[in-house]
Chain A
Amino acid sequence: MKTYFSFQIGNRGLLKEELGLADRVNSSLRASAIKHGVELKPGVMVEKVVRNHNGKTVLRVSGEGKEPVDVPLPVA
């Protein structure tokens, strides 16, 4: 039996047409931080094009310098 893997939730990736929403989130967070005099940790929401362990290119986002996380599947 091969090793199971999955692209659900944490591994979902984003559709090309969804990447613009990352910019929207980033912009609104930063504008909100400036308005309230709060500093955000650097590198929130950096777009990444990564190659998963099966060799497929997926579009994902993460914090700068961090790897996108894989959320475990619900336990059977």
Chain B
Amino acid sequence: MTIFELLQLMLPDGTDAFEPIRSADSAAPWINQIGCACPTWPPDLFAVTGRIIEESGCYTLASPDRGFNSSIRGIVNDASINAHVCFLNALAAIVQAWSDDPLVPPEPVTDLWDELVGSHGHKCVSSIEADPEAAGCVLRLFAIADEACRGMGWGDSQDKPLSTSFSHMVLMRMGGWAEIGLHLPFSLCSMVSPRVAVVLPKSITASVGCTVRSLSHYLALLPPSHVVRTSWTLPAGRYLEEGQNELSDPYDFRLLLIPFPFHVSGESFVLNTPRAELGKKHFWPAYFGLEQQWLDSSSGPLDGARLGKEFVRPLIDQARKQTGKMPHGIVLPECALNREIAQDLVRELSDSGIEFVITGVLHEQDGKTYNQACTFVIDQDQEDAAPFVQNKHHRWRLNRTQADSYALDFDGSHANDKWWEDIDVSQRTLPFFGLRKEMSFVTLICEDLARSDPAMSVVRAVGPNLVVALLMDGPQLAVRWPGQYATVLADDPGSAVLTLTCAGMVDRSNWQQSRPIRSIGLWRDAVGKTQEIGLPENASGVVLTLQSKQKHQSTLDLRSDNELSRQLVLRTIIPVFLDAVPEWV
């Protein structure tokens, strides 16, 4: 495929995102003579140049030429450094000009675009890596598009704005201004359909490796929406009180972890489909189901309002007393609740001051079972909040060793040694959330943390500050599998990873241990800290205080983010005790 063919494929409806706000009789003066004008919306330019870079592999040429040869070993080449400083200054000037005059890309951009289409358009994308001129052209356009989207997807200060006017337009779009057609919340693009490519805001630039992911600060290029359906949500957050200029602790972040359920009976695991022979040593596998018996109490089925009033609200109160501050969010493990209880719980907490709730749920619909993560963003002034729901992407395959370690014996056939989780894993979605000050997170469910799949590539591309993994697993020890896979994401892209499992499964697993460790969670961050999160005897929850700190990042082509990135570090872990724990807990 040639570059021109790729452009036609990605931009079938033209390149002018501002056409809807021009009067009908206003001709577009920037249409070039080649028949394919430069995209007027920077995320569109980012998408098409990013696709060329990714498919050609020419990101390998992005590092600036150091002018090195063996005769100058050990000596800084001033000419190369000066040349790069000139490149950065010119880039900043171009981006400023485009931001100040947003309807028409500035001449240096249209010149580069005309070169791309006119001089290199007939070339095969696969040949670009071996063509330094073409590669240089597309890499420069990509860098301009990325810088023109500084701050996109986030809020900004009107007094000291850091973002470009394009980023402010996206913020206005979130505020209801619909004059420009954007594919929000699924993509920041206008003329490039999500069916072809998706562009989302980015939090962390991978600082290791050599990929297209290491080449941008502000935008992430993702696969088409049919591969995995992603979205970006930026809640409005708290309105400031009268007379208050800014949030008192914008970069602190407190999470109340509730490792519910605290008891999981062996009867909660049931054999849904026994193993059947298909041929010689070839079997239709067995499937197990989960019955949430912890949601039944001696006085009847548990409901969300009761869970909130009798257990979660007292925990919030205790958390506030023991830490001196209100937690911002609550996290519950995989399969802790069902959808109805989760919704009722959030409704009960609507005036509690909690900003968001993340919980694992088991959901039955149309005869199918879904293992889901629900994220609720709560506005105190509204009575209700709709959850963002994502299905687990991979089934758990329970083997005999694991079953024995949890003292599970639900299959009468002792010849069988593995069982698949009986859930539907279709319709992959992956919602990303921007919360508070430049802090983003995504949730993964158990196996999804460990599997290498398109969703994991998306996580690496966006680089959320925090990855929350909801588990139904044994003790969260650094040496066990969650610790190993958390390390992978902490390394690339550099996200902090928090795993949380339920106390009930930790205790079942610990029955076999002579020195049990009641670790219900694990923290791993990009600075190398790994922290097991213990639940002391009689504690009902744990409050983590996280802090987001400024971080300087650089792209492969040595562009600085001027410390706009943030990274999360774990400051304190405080267990929360209740004076009286409800009998049903």
Interface residues of A (CB under 8 A from B): 1-22, 24-25, 28-29, 31-33, 35-41, 44-45, 48, 54, 56, 58-63, 66-69, 71, 73-76
Contact = CB atoms under 8 A, between A and B. Distances in A.
A20 B158 contact: yes
B177 A63 contact: yes
A-B interface, 7 closest residue pairs, ranked by CB to CB distance from nearest: A68-B176, A20-B158, A76-B389, A60-B176, A39-B23, A32-B103, A4-B386
Interface residues of B, number: 61
Contacts of A15: 155, 236-237, 239-240
B22 A62 contact: no
A47 B388 CA distance: 29
Contacts of A39: 22-23, 25-26
B158 A17 contact: yes
B185 to A, nearest CB: 4
B445 to A, nearest CB: 14
Contacts of B159: 17, 20
Given A9-B185, A18-B171, A29-B103, A45 B235 contact: no
A21 to B, nearest CB: 5
A71 B23 contact: no
B95 to A, nearest CB: 14
Given A21-B156, A35-B101, A54-B382, A28 B165 contact: yes
**B23, B178, B343: most-surrounded residue (chain A CB, <10 A):** B178
21 contacts: A8-B386, A10-B174, A10-B178, A15-B237, A16-B240, A17-B240, A18-B158, A19-B158, A25-B168, A28-B100, A29-B21, A32-B103, A33-B103, A38-B23, A39-B22, A41-B179, A66-B178, A71-B185, A74-B185, A74-B229, A74-B231
Interface string B424-442: 0001010100000000000
A76 B366 CA distance: 14
B381 interface: yes
Given A28-B99, A74-B431, A60 B175 contact: yes
Nearest to A11: B176
Contacts of B274: none
Contacts of B22: 33, 38-41
A61 B176 contact: yes
Contacts of A54: 381-383
A68 B178 contact: yes
A32 B104 contact: yes
